[in-house]
Amino acid sequence: MITVYRNSVQSWEIDQMGHMNVQFYFEKALQGCVVLWNKLGIDGQAVELGNTDLSLARAHIRFLKEQKPGAPFFLKAGIVEFADTEVKLYLEMIETITQQPVAAFNFQFLWTIKPSVKVKQNFSKVFEDLKVDIPSYGQTRGLSLEKEPLLSLSQASQKNMIDSFEAVILLRQCDNRSKIKPSAYMGIVSDSTPHLLAYTGTIDENGMTNIGSAALEYKFDFFEYVRLGAHLKTKSGVQSLSNKTFVWQHWIFNVETGNPVALASAVAVTMDLEARKSIPIPPEMSEALNKLIL
C-alpha cells in the first residue's frame, strides 16, 4: 500500500455528535483514489473526486475510532482486484500519532470505457507492489454485501418508512460536470439523521439530548449520479435491531422518475454523548425503532 492523502480533521467537519462527519471520511478517501489514478496514468477527464474513465458503483466503510477536531491522519491505498470491467481498491485512514487504522474503505469502480493498453501495463507494473488482502477489521461485519431488490418511490411509500430528506441538488454538491458527487449522497444520509433521532426521542425542541448514535459500518450502492437541480427524496427504515445496534436502510429517490439513485445501509450504535461510550438502546428508543422494521 502507498500513501495517497495526508491532512487533519477540521472543526467545520464535526457533526452534532461531536466527531468528524461520515461524509468527510468518504470525501477524503475519494481524494486518495484520485491520487492513485494519477499515479497509474489514467488519462480520462479530471472530475472532482473522480475520473470520467471510472465510476464508483459500490462502497463499504468501517469506522474503527471516532475522530475529533485537529487530529492528524493519512490514507494508504492498495489494489484488491483489477479487470477489464472493474477495479477494487482498499484504503485505510491511519492516525498519525498512534499509527493505528481508524477507518477502512472498500471501493468498487466500474470502467466507463475499456482501459487502454497503457493503463493495463501501468496496473500490471504496480499490481504486485500494491496488491492487498483486506484485513479482518476492514471486512463486512454487520452488513451483507448481497444486492438488494430495487424499490420504486411508490413501493417505498407503501412501507413503514420515515420521510427523512427532501431537497434539490445544489451546485456545491456537484462535480465540474454538474453531477452529484458520491460523498454528497453520504451527506444526504447524514443530514437526514436528526429526523430519525427526533422520531426515536434522542433529540427534542432544545436540540440533542445526551443520547445519540454513531455509525460503525456503511454500505452504499450507487445507481445514478443525478444532475444539478434534481429533486431527491429519502425514505428510511430499520433493517434489523438488537440490544446495542440497529441497521438503518436509506433509499434515495429521484422524485421526477420515481427511481432509486442510491441505497445506503448503516450499522449504528447508541451512544452516551457525555461519556463518549456505547450503551444499550433505551427501551423507548427500541420501541420506536421496532415500528420501522422493514
Tens digit of each residue's pLDDT (9 = 90 or more) over 5-45: 999 999 888 877 777 888 999 999 999 999 999 888 887 78
Strand 211-222 and strand 260-272: pairing? antiparallel
In the Cβ-directed half-sphere of 27, how many Cα atoms lie within 13 Å?
19
The strand pair at 203-204 and 207-208 is best described as antiparallel
Q: Are residues 146 and 292 in the same domain?
A: yes
Residue 147 and residue 215 in one domain: yes
**pLDDT at residue number 205:** 59
Q: Do 130 and 19 fall within a single domain?
A: yes
Q: What pLDDT sits at residue 119? A: 83
H-state helical runs in the chain: 22-39, 117-130, 153-157, 182-200, 283-290
Residue 227 and residue 131 share a domain: no
Rounded to 10°, the helix 22-39/182-200 angle is 170
pLDDT tens column, 187-225:
999 888 888 878 776 666 555 567 667 778 999 999 999
Rounded to an integer, the average pLDDT of 237-259 is: 91
Domain boundary among 120, 139, 158: 139
Mean pLDDT within 245-269: 94
User: In terms of pLDDT, which residue wins out, 2 or 144?
Assistant: 2
Range of the domain at 244: 142-294
Could you give the number of structural domains in the chain? 2
Q: Can you tell me the mean pLDDT for 242-252?
A: 90
Give the per-residue pLDDT at 1: 92
**11 or 105: which leads in pLDDT:** 105
- Both 122 and 239 in one domain: the answer is no
Residues 115 and 149 placed together within one structural domain of the fold: no
In a shared domain, residues 150 and 291: yes
% of the chain exceeding 90 in pLDDT: 53
CA dist list (Å): 177 to 15, 19, 50, 225, 227: 28, 31, 11, 11, 8
**Over residues 109-121, mean pLDDT:** 86
| Listed residues 121, 139, 157: the one ending a domain | 139
Residue at which a domain ends, from 139, 162, 193: 139
Do 247 and 169 share a structural domain?
yes
Do residues 63 and 77 both lie within one domain? yes
Which pLDDT does position 269 carry in this prediction?
82
CATH number at residue 154: 3.10.129.10
CB 119 within 8 A of CB 42: yes
What is the mean predicted confidence (pLDDT) over 79-103? 94
Specify whether 147 is located in the same domain as 260.
Answer: yes
The reported pLDDT for the residue numbered 257 is 97
The chain-wide mean pLDDT, for the chain, equals 89
Q: Are residues 187 and 237 in the same domain?
A: yes
Q: Radius of gyration (Cα) for the chain, nearest Å? A: 19
Verify that 200 and 55 share a domain, yes or no.
no
